Structure 1
């Protein structure tokens, strides 16, 4: 007979299960339905998912009741079946778990990050109903997961403690932050929840292993309560209408050891994870010895030179005059540099503007700004583009995402850019809103990336999106994004050809970290009629390298680059990152005139040094021709 859950958590780290909803989606079940209703309609399907996780090594199974609340089920006309759904959820999980795993009743947040006005009385009622139904089904514990607000978490925990002494696991959803969504520092939130009766406290969803590891580092080691972590399988990518996660099982195995060393005693997976991820975690923890990593002597990283900028030849600046040639014209003549600077996530634009000026002085031809990349809210790139154009005097290149604006808003936005004299744009699909920092917001996607290119070029013909003639024509130069970091490059190029057929004037690639791949891209795209700007992003540290490789869609680092960056942090990491970027630039400049530098963490000094490197070497190459 296995010990109770509290005792088991004290003995050694336990393996949790993985995703339910996204795994059902991967298995072919459609979105837009209540997966919780499957407890009644398709109990064998839910039992099979639970069984797969148990077979993979999961020792704690969550019931399929995350959204089984009256308010959420009412969306599907199922509010009258809440108790039946929850009771069935525990029963199905119990049968699948047998004697091999514990069963915890899953309870999701009502607010779920939404800022809409929900009455406390309504939230309390839904929690009471859900808690009562789950307790009546006799789980081994309860799991409060994906909570954004401390206030709501505290309320749910108090309602449980009024009725039961069962173990309670409390998990917040955070993203690169040291506070809950309602402003409570995480360290304070954890301490208060422990005092209020939480047995295990931790994180799930919203972030991959890297961000959760950073959040865990804000929690005091002497908290006095075990931690739990259920990260997503990296940042999701949205490709041809499908959501895809990229973090591998091997990455989760390595992360599991790091989580355990930081005090995690329950380690599983959330969105995008599968039985393969859980099997990897179970394998990594099977022989885990607490503190083994900490007691082993650490290998000292190789000494790296501190970054120093070489003296540059006089830069060739783009300027923004009316008669200035477009980037497409410039890149056909010489090496041309576009540099991406992320708009700030707050109201302070001082460093951003300093970076734009430094890049102008270094000789960059344009500064490009993403449109709330990764669905994280940032300052308007239209406003910043206008400021950069007016005060710095460098060409702005504005990203336009399909995610945030409907047809009306997109045409209005483009008309505004035209009025401001901003004529270079990059059309992108945009990451789904539910995976960003405001998951309660909606993704629009009235247009695909192909359609938005066609519609913008239609404005150049003096025709509105509606087909109505306009009194004058726009003059947009439209770029398209290209991800060459794929298994089948030929298929990616076929997709690229469709974008060019839709009207794309130039191409900007995702970051490339392999000289051999750069050569393959050159060979495979020689037939294309538009210029390509090869993406190069300097790495800031070893941790940054692993995060990009494992969690960010569209980015793949070579084994050699990962080896060189391993263990490097601070100035040494940035210096090696710039050194690697220079080597990649050498390879890129042999085949392409277009260079697209991507600035990490607004560390524009790195991009300045690389811009000067391109200008200097491009000038030398021109003199030798």
Structure 2
């Protein structure tokens, strides 16, 4: 009779299996299908993969159920078949493992490193549904793998513990710096999970043997539980339309011994690994006798704190007051000037100079607003700052960049000394001038605010500690032109909770709405910059009212602008703008002027009106 799984890893290093998904891909199964559905439609294919790993020496076989939860299966219309797919996955693996192998129920992260809107209650329900089926089918243990944050891992572990006393293996997907996406160092994560009942803690995916080795090293001196490691076969390369992994089976055999020496008691492979990789691991570990793991008391004696002393490494900029500081003291004006749609920046820079001279506190530049391609606001912001001394406030949209591009973009801003940004969702690409381009939307506006503020804590989006802290002042966009203002304010409160430092609204053309907005946001403790965009013509008014999301004009304003074009239209637009400023300046210190069609003279006139009303004497604020 074979020992149970806990007894087995006490006395030996167990060989895990290798990749399922990438191996199926290599065998010709395309990306974009549910590999878990193959448990039902092609059980012989899945069984054959399991048998190849068993024949290569694998002793621990994972069920083909990594993404077999309600949320992931719903992408393929399979959410009603969670039970069937998981039950089949266990039975196929059990048949392949035979009497001597161990079958562990594979459960993957649902959030998968994304800041999704899946609620905690939904996560609990999805994990419980999948885990209960796996456990009822008689798995030898549970493998929680490819988790990116401690919060979700704790939740899944709690569900597993509620349902069973089976062994639970917890594996994070981290880089070699070994910090989770929610900012925990691995020693911290290790302590939390060991206290909450994990049997094994380890790593898989995201990096090859070298990266996982470095992650494992962060636990030196504190490990009193077995570790598990399932590295990728190096970094994937995309060659001739195919993904290829470069780490050889021989390399995996060599590193298996190093992992075993560091306390790993289950060693397998993740993306890119094959039965050949597992055969080399099995061969290398033949006859290997592991050293006893330290007791809890020994681990506590040896415990080392690996917190990054980030505060000692970060610098503080000697700095100017932010717009958040200034607006607490006096009326403050931010002016928007759209980047050009061509390569000529002459008029744009002329406008920036005029706005600087007129006393603008910051120049804000949109990020391809309305999904129309314009010059990089990063480049123009830098030029404005260098040539005029006017502070740039840069919009950054979720639409155009994935997580990698967004962090890279923010790092570039920091290097250029651009520290004021406005986080926006961004209009969908299909409505712009390049409708065939893709909208990325890796993040929501809530998430991008939180992640930018994470850079201020010295933590990269990946969870990796940075050698410097950023100093971003992050704004949130707000549209008060809605039927239910209370619901819009509730959404705004969530942005503030995510870390927003100030608010910039869509243009408001109704004085009564300004008053209601002030009352509805009186409890908020961050400044609001009320948006005012002077109308350039009657046609401009009708376009904004009827075609641009988030903008509504009153019938009275549309009537006054009707039929006016050219100078007459702009003159009326400025007049209406001044009337709106009469109310806005009474209730808000923050004013956000949006320049139409590069008519920066209109913004200059309105800004001068604000200074006239407030009695401000112009002096240079920034040099």
Question: TM-score by structure 2 length?
Answer: 0.49
**Larger radius of gyration between Structure 1 and Structure 2:** 2
Question: TM-score by structure 1 length?
Answer: 0.49
